[in-house]
Amino acid sequence: MPPRSGHGYTSPPGAGRNRRLRTLHLALAGALFAAPQDPSAREVADFVNILVAADGEAAARKLESESLRKILTADGRQMDWVCREASRKAPHLALRTPASAPRVTAGLLTLTADLLAQSPGDAGCLRARQFALLADARVRRTLKMAVTSAPFVQAGEAIESLYRPASADGPAAGDPIHLLWAAQAFSEGAAVAGDAATALWDRALDLTIRLREMETEDPEIRGGIPRILLDRVRWGGARREKGVEDRLIALVEHLTTARAKAPGDMALATVFNETVSVAGSLGLRRRGLEYDAARLFPSPGLEMRVPVGNRWRSADPGESSVSQVDPERGRIRCIEVIGYDWDQNYDLPDGSRVKGDSLRDLAARFFDIERERLKKVQVRRTPAQSRLGRCPMGLAFEFEGTDDRDSFLGRREWFFKSGEGRRCTYRLALSWFWKDEPPDPEFEFVMDSVQERRG
C-alpha cells in the first residue's frame, strides 16, 4: 500500500501580486477581449508573461523578433509597461537565467534609445528609458558585474519627478507609488555607492517619511516602506554603525502600528519576521521580539511552527509539505512528511517492499532511491543516528548533486518512530534547490520546532 500523508492546517495565503500589476493585466485582458484579433496586443501580452515567468532565454529571443520591436518602438505606453515589469523581475531574471538576462536588458536599452530618438519629449518614452536603465543595473548588481550607483540615482531622480505634491498652483499630480519606486532605486544605489552611500540612504529615507505622512492605503507602499527601513538596519548593522539599535526599535514600532491597521497584510508579516532574523544575526535581538509563527500540522502526528507571511507556503489540502520561497529566486526549500504504519507493508518506487516498522530498511531503501535520481552525487552522510528538532532519536542521510538537466538538488531525510503510541514511522524529507545556501534563522527556527503532537 502507498504511504499515508496527512494535512491538518493551511497557513494563510500570501498577499499575491500587487494591486497595480493585477489592474494592468485586467486592462490588457479587456483590450484583448474587445479586439481578440489584434496581434499587437497579444504579442505584447505574451512577452510580459514571459518576463513575469523570468524566462530570460525566451524573453531575449522574443526581443530579437522584428514584429515585437516594431510594436514597442511605435507605442511609448506599451514600452513603459514592458520596461517597468522588466525592472521588477530583473533580479529573478538574472538568478534564473544569468546568461540571458543581460541580453534582455541590452535589448530594452536599445529599443528605448530608438523610441526616444523618435519622440524625445514623450513622457511614456522617458519613463520607459528610466525603467530600462534600472532593470539593467539590477541585473548587473545581481550577477556581480561592474555597476555604479549612477544608474540607480538617475532612475530614482527621474521616477521621483513623476510625482508633484499639492501646492498653491494645484493639487498633487502623479501616483505616490513613484515616490516608493524612487526610494527603492536610491536604497539599491546605496548598496554600491561606497563613500556616497549615506547620502543616498538619506534620500531614500526622506521619501519614506513623505509617504508615511500621506497615510496611503496602497498595499505596495504599506509593505515597501518597512522593507527599505529594514535594508537600512541591515546595512548599518553590517558596518557596526552607531545608532543601528535605535533604527531597529523604530522599525519594530512602525511595523507594530502598521500591522495593527492591516492585520491580514502578509507583506508586513514577512518583513516583521525578517526583522527578527536580522536582529538576531546582528546580536540585537531584544526581549519580546520573537517570530510571529503559526502551528502547521504536516502529518496527523507531527507539528511545526512556521513564520507567517509570504516566505512560507503550505501545500494544497490533502498533501503534506511546506515550501520556503524567496521573492527573487522562487522556491528554495521544501519539507515533506510521510507516515508509515507499523502493521503495513509498503511498495517502494524501486520495486522493493518494506514494513512500516523497519526504521533501518526504510532509511536504507530511500537513500538508494533518492541517490539514483541524480546524475552526479556527493554523499555527505550515509544513514546514521540523528535527532530532528524535539523528535525521538532516529536515522538520517544527506547528499547533494545534479540531475539530468544539471539542476542542483540537496536532500536530507530523517526517519524516526513515534514516541506517542501512534505506531507510526515518520519520514521527513528536506530538499533544497540552491547550492551553498547561507544560514537562515527562519529555516532553523522551523526545523527546531518539529515535534510530535501531544495527546
pLDDT tens track for 221-235: 999 999 999 999 999
Tell whether the model's pLDDT for residue 2 goes beyond 60: no
Q: What's the pLDDT score for residue 167?
A: 67
pLDDT (tens digit per residue) in 144-181: 888 899 999 988 998 898 888 766 666 667 789 999 99
Buried b (16+ CB within 10 A) or exposed e, 428-446: bbbbbbbeebeebbbbebb
pLDDT band (50, 70, 90) for residue 78: confident
Distance CA 454, CA 137 (A): 52
The three three-digit cell numbers of residue 77, written as one number: 505606453
pLDDT (tens digit per residue) in 388-407: 999 999 999 999 999 888 88
Tell whether the model's pLDDT for residue 23 goes beyond 90: no
Chain-centroid distance of CA 79 in Å reads 26
Q: What's the pLDDT score for residue 110?
A: 92
Buried b (16+ CB within 10 A) or exposed e, 130-169: bbbbbbbbbbbbbeeeebebebbbbbbebbbebbeeeeee
Chain-centroid distance of CA 212 in Å reads 25
Average pLDDT of the residues of the chain: 85
Of the two residues 280 and 319, the one the predictor is more confident about is: 280
β-pairing, 345-347 with 353-355? antiparallel
pLDDT band (50, 70, 90) for residue 363: very high
Mean pLDDT, rounded, for 299-314: 87
